[in-house]
Amino acid sequence: MDHRPGNVVSHEGCVPWIERAIELVRLHAGEITLRGDSDFTLTAELDRWDSQGIKFLFGMDAHQKVVQLAEALPERAWKPLERLARYEIATEARAKPLRVKEAIVRFKGYLNKKLLGESVARVQLSATQVRAQLSAGCGAQKHQHPERGSGALGRH
């Protein structure tokens, strides 16, 4: 158990823990894939992990160069993001609480952005802090429909 203060960034000191997890599963796993958000895109470690045959899937911050790269892609490069199907409930469905957030957003007149879909495209990246070439990255587009609240609370 490792106790850390609540104001420490999530990736601080994570490399030894990731290395420990890799060693723990290496003998039993046919393939290892590391996943994490943008804070875990540890460019100083990617070359080494890649040379060990470890795959990784990390988010990237939308820096200006990355955004320009994605915006320069032709429209045909973008494909709809296919999410995994929701799992099938093996027992009984649980009662779900009422969804009130959207009604409150509309009532208060806030801008409500509804996600209509997402698209992804594969792009070649070379990270300046990494000596090796990253094999592929993935850009994402979110398609949203903005609507302004009406000031009336109730079911719509």
What is the domain partition of the chain in residue ranges?
Answer: 1-59, 62-156
The string of pLDDT tens digits covering residues 76-91 is: 888 887 877 777 888 8
> Which of the two residues, 134 and 43, has the higher pLDDT score?
43
Q: What is the mean pLDDT of residues 121-133?
A: 51
Query: Which secondary structure element, helix H or strand E, spans residue 109, and what is its range?
Result: none
Q: Which residues contact 152 (CB under 8 A, 6 or more apart)?
A: 106, 107
The string of pLDDT tens digits covering residues 4-63 is: 677 777 777 788 888 999 999 998 988 998 887 766 667 678 778 888 888 877 777 777
Residue 144, token pair as written in the block: 């949203």
Cβ atoms within 10 A of the Cβ of 149, count? 17
Q: Rounded distance, CA 139 to CA 67, Å?
A: 9
